[in-house]
Structure 1
Amino acid sequence: MPPPRSVRLALALGLLVPTLTACFEEPSPHEAIRDFLVGWESGDYAMAARRADANEASVRKALGDVALHLDAASLRFKLGPISRDGDTAKASFQAEVDLGENNPLWTYESMLPLHLVDGRWKVRWSPSVIHPDLHEGERLAVKVDPEGRQPIMDRYDDALQDRDTQYVAQVIPVEVSDPARLCQELAKVTGFAQDRLLSRILSAPPTDAVPLATFGRAKYQQIRAQLARIDGLKIAEVYPPVAPKSPVHIVGRVSAVTAESEQQLGGPQRAGDTVGRDGLQRAYQDQLTGSTETRVIVLDTKTWKTVKELKSWPGRKNTPVRTTIDSRLQHAADLAVARTQPVALVAVDAPTGQVLAVATKDLHQEKDALAGKYPVGTAFSIVATDALLRGGLDVRQKVPCTADRTVGGARFQQTGVTSSAPSFEADFAHGCVTALASLARRLDERSLTESAANFGIGAPWGLPLNSFSGTVPAGTTDAARAKIIAGSAVRVSPLAMALVAGAVRSGTWHPPTLVTAPASPDPTSDITPPQVPAARPLNVDAAAKLRALMRAGVATGSARAAAAPGDPVHGVASTVTFVEKKERRELSWFVGWQGDVAVAVMMEGPDPAGAASVAGAFFSGTRKDF
């Protein structure tokens, strides 16, 4: 954090005085130059004025106005060569003005003309002493032209925000009789620093509307009566595109800068500035905002028209954030989850891993759909079956689906058992946990670990938002491996399982992508920059057999509710019961795809067809291949 303005002035003065006093000897202009520049720099305008040849009160005011009209955090001067010609002298100097408000320094070269008056050296006063291009009847001013917040867009460059109403408290300086009192009253209502509000008024062109504070609808209604009582304050309605569209938690919310959020953003902000509260708006705060053009200008004090521009800074370029979200698929996902139990749905593009839609009901799109840590039940047998197939398993092999089975001391139970001895294909399609768990003895820890890695489970992939790739415990015993196959010992997010489905569909696991531009989030945020691991191709034969197994899961198995018009739907369904924070929870899962759209649906409740039904509704709503 930069030191207070008073401290910076003291430091500057401490650095300047030795430089200016080292070689000052009378009778010479040195002492006059020192007193004038040190007095101006330190704010001792009386000392500076005593070294000018004009009315001291006028000089004091003119020098004080420089800091006010520039809203300067500090002024520093570096003395250059001094030349003398009889009773006249010239001293060149460089001025360095800190304009504050996160702007760069303004430096310019100038000259102090001096002459002898009654035996004493005096600065020959005129406005050009302040700046070479400043003349009588003119003053300096700072004009800022901020650009609005850039949008977050979907994959087709359509904005993922709607316009919202905000209320801007502003003034036209020339119309305000007592700006100090106005700022005092506004500071009491808003919490903004009174001196910062006042400096914005005094430094702006007097006929420009100067925004001082911005409020959302709720806050404005709360303080509307108090604002109405402040003489000279005007309220303007603006309609920036900041209201998030779906997926709301992923896009994130935006609010106007408050006195509290100024500290979060690390320095004085102007009215109209916005802060991302969560989601991508927060992760990409720096890229979405920050482009403010600043200009130092000379004004005619009679007409208030700009006479000349002395310096301008274009400001840091802000850019839109482009996501992989498909708004049409997002709409279909929102409709699919609208009338259900708490549910999360994540859809990805199978050939690329790009996130197409994230929809939830009574769950959080980031915390649950992307970053949730949940058991997945026998849907995890997709991963385990990859290891079994690479080990030579014949899907036609008969594997009994019993009501009860113990593997290595771990007990598993299955409801709805038929008396026939099904094949592995049927066991997989119906998610028979006892049959699948019994195959633990055909696997070793290494093969399970390899398959999990091939499907990105536990990989260090990430997104600009919080996300979870999954964890698989060590499978050192038959019981441990049986629990992994049954999906009760693993923890995954819906996003991780959507990528699993995409890997089977395309034959290659791809890391997830949510944002395509810019490449990384705001480096000042506390979000970990996304890692991009390499895509991992699956075993070709195993992937082909998995696709056939997952087609059977919808055609004849427990995932039949996911069937939809169009391309055949592939997938598996599962249920799992677990205890979290001493509460018993039941989840229903569907993991599969239609066309190139791979999905994972996780739904709370005991209905084994619940998640598959949501997936079927989603696929029916899309009616388009990718």
Structure 2
Amino acid sequence: MNGAAKGAVIGGVFLAMMGGAGYGVYALVGDAGGDDAKSTGAAAPAAPAKGTGPVSDKEAAETAKAFFAAWSAGDAAKGAELTNNPGGARDALGDFTTAALVSKVAITPGAQTGTTVAYSVAAEVTYQGVTKPLAYESKLSVVRGNTTGLPLVDWDPAVLHPQLQKGERLRGGPPPSPPVKAVDRNGKELTAEKYPSLRKVLDDLRQKYGEKLGGTGGAELWIEPATPGAPRRNLLTLVEGTPGKIQTVLDADVQEAAEKAVLRFPQASVVAVQPSTGDVLAIADHRSDGFPASVSGGRAPGSTMKIVTAAMLLDRGLVSADKVAECPPEVSWEGRRFTNLKGFKLDDETFATSFAQSCNTAFIKQIKPVGDIGALPKEAREVFGIGAEWKVGVPTVDGKVPEATGPAAAAAYIGQGEIQMNPLTMASITATARTGVFRQPVVVKASLDGRALAKASRSMKPAVAAQLVRMMKLTASSGTARAAMSAVGGSDKGAKTGSAEVDGAQNPDSWFTGFSGDVAAAAMVEGGGHGGDAAGPIVAAVLNAG
């Protein structure tokens, strides 16, 4: 069961709680929907009377009692009428005894704070003669009905179970797909309990490969997500299934480091890739919305995109790492002014230094000599595999570098405008820069199901790859990535920082990507500011673990 003690399954707790303390224990005895509902010591409370003004503590207690009695008796209609959302509550309460297979339930009221009442639920879930206990704690609040004037339970799915969110449902029985036992590249088991960021990855693997691996489903109680494709959350295993074993290319040690690293900042995501193989070593997110931005997000990557732009400029012979590149404080293109951070400039410095110091104007000044609005998308697609359909083994969003005109074309050179990336695609770009060859990232080997991997139409020229790696190393040793990369051991390391302005956001997104040996990683922190400040330490921690 998921983390919180409130949702813990406690063996034998049903009988123990039937004699619990409090101001009433409401129990359903027998089959769900039966007519032998009982209350210890008194008849079921009557519905509260209509009133005016704020709900009193007494009204809240009486309303909660009546609701608990109806819920315990399996009377979904009566319980729903005691809430301010009868339709939603009726369906959910009905599901509790039918779709969720609850055969017995006891509800023990707990402490009351004003109009909020805590309570404990001890239930039994039965499937084909097998019964398992389920226990958890939750709370409800009582409000005044806008039109009726009655005190009513303020309906929320969490009233039924604390882990339920809007649009989610409790479901029991055989799961849609058999379980899988996922292991890392070294045979270590990967579980959502130990590696929470992998919950959706593991669920996706289960849905896609469970039956192919010969697993049997058994029976479970789970939370059905509101969003199609989102991971199911198992609450209770009723009948053990036989999991099929699936080997991933993830690395448990790197994954553990990634899980800890993203906890440093809210809205943080990171991915690590092995440049020599394309194997994804770690995927981690720390977000309030639970969205897997690491592999499914799409936001402007800021100056980390200069890796692709630099490769394109080097490939066309317009710049060279050792040749001087003009870096004025500002430059204009088709009516839009572009500036460097705090208006800095470089005098008589090389293109490598402009790259290391993240000089925007040095890049944008090259758009006119390039003379081809399709040059950057072409480089991204043909060399870095961006725009091809990646088949990673789990669903991903694989980056977008569209053709653009006017100021948007210039903005694209520095990772703004219409470009969309996520940590997976940026880690892959860095891995490609590291080796000069695009290898499509994978979570499970293509040999598992014979799927065709995306390929780039050409490799990077050796001279271009050598200069690109040298510039990234310079960025790590004396450029904008120096502070973050100083924590990474060894000398074979390179990086690129980025910050991306987002419309309506108070602070720019923080981006950072780097490599150390045969590990490449990229991180993003929404609203994190400068790339080296937030995303940088996350990448450094992951690289050290690799």
TM-score class, shorter: 0.5 to 0.7
Quick one: structure 1 residues 193 and 379, their matched pair in 2 at CA, closer, same or farther if it must change by over 3 Å?
Answer: closer
Q: Give the secondary-structure state (helix, strand or coil) at the position aligned to 2:501.
A: strand
CA distance in 2, matches of 1:283, 1:516: 22
- Structure 1 residue 547 displacement after superposition: 0.8
What stretches of structure 2 of length at least 5 have no aligned partner? 2-6, 15-28, 35-71, 75-92, 104-126, 140-157, 162-179, 182-189, 204-216
Q: Please give the per-residue CA displacement for 1:58-113, whole angstroms capped at 9, x wherever unaligned.
A: xxxxxxxxxxxxxxxxxxxxxxxxxxxxxxxxxxxxxxxxxxxxxxxxxxxxxxxx
Structure 1 residue 244 corresponds to structure 2 residue 192: yes
- Answer whether contact 1:244 1:253 (CA < 8 A) is retained: no
Report the structure number with the largest CA radius of gyration.
1
CA distance in 2, matches of 1:187, 1:531: 55
Structure 1 residue 607 corresponds to structure 2 residue 530: yes
- Structure 1 residue 436 displacement after superposition: 1.1
Moved more, 596-605 or 208-217: 208-217
Quick one: structure 1 residues 619 and 397, their matched pair in 2 at CA, closer, same or farther if it must change by over 3 Å?
Answer: same
- Structure 1 residue 615 displacement after superposition: 2.2
In structure 1, which of residues 454, 461, 472 is the aligned counterpart of residue 390 of structure 2? 461
Counterpart residue identity of residue 606, structure 1:
G
In structure 1, which of residues 447, 450, 472 is the aligned counterpart of residue 375 of structure 2? 447
**Following superposition, which runs of at least 4 residues in structure 1 exceed 6 angstroms of deviation?**
168-171, 219-224, 240-243, 278-285, 289-293
CA distance in 1, matches of 2:451, 2:138: 35
- Answer whether contact 1:366 1:465 (CA < 8 A) is retained: no
- Structure 1 residue 292 displacement after superposition: 8.2
Counterpart residue identity of residue 459, structure 1:
A
CA distance in 1, matches of 2:519, 2:97: 49
- Structure 1 residue 341 displacement after superposition: 5.1
Cross-structure match for 1:88: none
Quick one: structure 1 residues 412 and 169, their matched pair in 2 at CA, closer, same or farther if it must change by over 3 Å?
Answer: same
In structure 2, which of residues 301, 304, 321 is the aligned counterpart of residue 395 of structure 1? 321
Q: Report the number of matched residues.
A: 381
Quick one: structure 1 residues 498 and 608, their matched pair in 2 at CA, closer, same or farther if it must change by over 3 Å?
Answer: closer
Q: Please give the per-residue CA displacement for 1:377-416, whole angstroms capped at 9, x wherever unaligned.
A: 1211111111111111322222222221112323211125
In structure 1, which of residues 391, 404, 410 is the aligned counterpart of residue 330 of structure 2? 404
Counterpart residue identity of residue 130, structure 2:
P
CA distance in 2, matches of 1:397, 1:437: 17
- Answer whether contact 1:322 1:515 (CA < 8 A) is retained: yes
- Structure 1 residue 598 displacement after superposition: 0.4
Cross-structure match for 1:166: 9
- Structure 1 residue 519 displacement after superposition: 4.2
Q: Give the secondary-structure state (helix, strand or coil) at the position aligned to 2:337.
A: strand
In structure 1, which of residues 428, 435, 438 is the aligned counterpart of residue 365 of structure 2? 438
Structure 1 residue 566 corresponds to structure 2 residue 490: yes
Counterpart residue identity of residue 293, structure 2:
D
Quick one: structure 1 residues 222 and 588, their matched pair in 2 at CA, closer, same or farther if it must change by over 3 Å?
Answer: closer
Structure 1 residue 554 corresponds to structure 2 residue 479: no
Cross-structure match for 2:21: none
In structure 2, which of residues 444, 455, 459 is the aligned counterpart of residue 534 of structure 1? 455
CA distance in 2, matches of 1:386, 1:425: 12
Quick one: structure 1 residues 517 and 211, their matched pair in 2 at CA, closer, same or farther if it must change by over 3 Å?
Answer: farther
CA distance in 2, matches of 1:541, 1:210: 70
Quick one: structure 1 residues 170 and 513, their matched pair in 2 at CA, closer, same or farther if it must change by over 3 Å?
Answer: same
Cross-structure match for 2:518: 596
- Structure 1 residue 246 displacement after superposition: 4.9
Q: 1:222-233 to 2 correspondence within 5 Å?
A: none
Q: Give the secondary-structure state (helix, strand or coil) at the position aligned to 1:601.
A: strand
- Answer whether contact 2:271 2:424 (CA < 8 A) is retained: yes
Counterpart residue identity of residue 426, structure 2:
M
Quick one: structure 1 residues 282 and 409, their matched pair in 2 at CA, closer, same or farther if it must change by over 3 Å?
Answer: closer
- Answer whether contact 1:243 1:253 (CA < 8 A) is retained: no
CA distance in 2, matches of 1:191, 1:284: 17
- Answer whether contact 2:398 2:425 (CA < 8 A) is retained: yes
- Answer whether contact 1:344 1:365 (CA < 8 A) is retained: no
Q: Give the secondary-structure state (helix, strand or coil) at the position aligned to 1:320.
A: strand
- Answer whether contact 1:559 1:573 (CA < 8 A) is retained: yes
Q: 1:367-378 to 2 correspondence within 5 Å?
A: 367-378=292-303
What stretches of structure 1 of length at least 5 have no aligned partner? 1-148, 150-163, 172-179, 199-207, 225-239, 256-268, 294-316, 521-528
Q: Give the secondary-structure state (helix, strand or coil) at the position aligned to 1:411.
A: strand
Q: Please give the per-residue CA displacement for 1:238-268, whole angstroms capped at 9, x wherever unaligned.
A: xx9997235424324999xxxxxxxxxxxxx
- Structure 1 residue 426 displacement after superposition: 0.6
- Structure 1 residue 168 displacement after superposition: 7.5
Counterpart residue identity of residue 597, structure 1:
V
Structure 1 residue 485 corresponds to structure 2 residue 328: no
Q: 1:105-116 to 2 correspondence within 5 Å?
A: none
Taking only the aligned residue pairs, the percentage that are identical comes to 23
Give TM-score, length-normalised by structure 2: 0.59
CA distance in 2, matches of 1:471, 1:584: 25
Q: Please give the per-residue CA displacement for 1:182-204, whole angstroms capped at 9, x wherever unaligned.
A: 4554993874449x999xxxxxx
Structural RMSD (CA): 4.5
Q: Give the secondary-structure state (helix, strand or coil) at the position aligned to 1:592.
A: strand
- Answer whether contact 1:252 1:276 (CA < 8 A) is retained: no
